[in-house]
Amino acid sequence: MPTKSKIFLSYLIRAFWALVGAFAFWVITYTLIWNFTGENMFFAYILNGATIIFVTIEDKLRLDYLRKRKKALFKNKILSNLFDHLVLDKHDLSSMKSSLYLFYIFALVSSHMLMINPYIEVSESVRNYFTTVGYGLVILIAVDKFAGQFIKDNKRIKDYNESR
């Protein structure tokens, strides 16, 4: 049984990686999406939603694949280990959704702080960015709930078909 210090350390490590992931999502949403769309709120909102859907699906597929896999993907052990750790993130089995939630919670809070206090000195571009990204939390919750319900329905249908 793990000691309390090991459990605390594992939480600390996961929290650190969630922060790193949240920072990575900021880089994606601000430097890539926001700048790529020319600060167009409509297109940035659509691309943020697509990013959320892509990350949610990729995360689910990655974790399911690692859980169900029986043998290594490649015969070469070095290549297989590199694939597992660099592509599948086998060293970190936590969900990327933790980072998504953390980032979008920060974005929502920032968005509302900027709305509540119009005297905070930031550019109109930053205000629009946080307004656009702040609503991403709604998309994330909806996609996460839909995916969870879809998986539950799939399991229920599978169980029903096997019982017949």
The domain ranges of the chain are 4-66+92-163
Question: What pLDDT sits at residue 80?
Answer: 61
The SS3 assignment for 30 reads: helix
Based on C-alpha coordinates, what's the Rg of the chain?
A: 19
Say which DSSP state 38 is in.
Answer: T
State the pLDDT at residue 13: 83
- Residue whose token pair is 């922060």: 19
pLDDT at 130: 92
pLDDT at residue number 139: 87
pLDDT the model gives residue 12: 87
**What is the per-residue pLDDT for 21?**
87
CA geometry: angle 28, 151, 51, nearest 5 deg:
10
Cα–Cα distances in Å, from 56 out to 77, 109, 143, 152?
29, 22, 8, 16
Assessment of whether the complete model's pTM goes beyond 0.85? no
Nearest residue to 106 (alpha-carbon basis) of 21, 43, 12: 21
pLDDT of residue 116: 92
* Contact between residue 59 and residue 96 where contact means Cβ atoms under 8 Å apart: yes
* DSSP code of residue 90: T
3-state secondary structure of 36: helix
The pLDDT value given to residue 148:
82
Q: Tens-digit pLDDT profile for the chain (164 aa)?
A: 678 888 888 788 888 888 988 999 999 999 999 999 999 999 999 999 999 888 888 888 777 766 666 665 556 667 666 666 555 555 555 678 888 989 999 999 999 999 998 888 999 999 999 989 988 888 888 888 888 888 888 888 888 888 87
Query: What pLDDT, on a 0 to 100 scale, did the predictor assign at position 73?
Result: 59
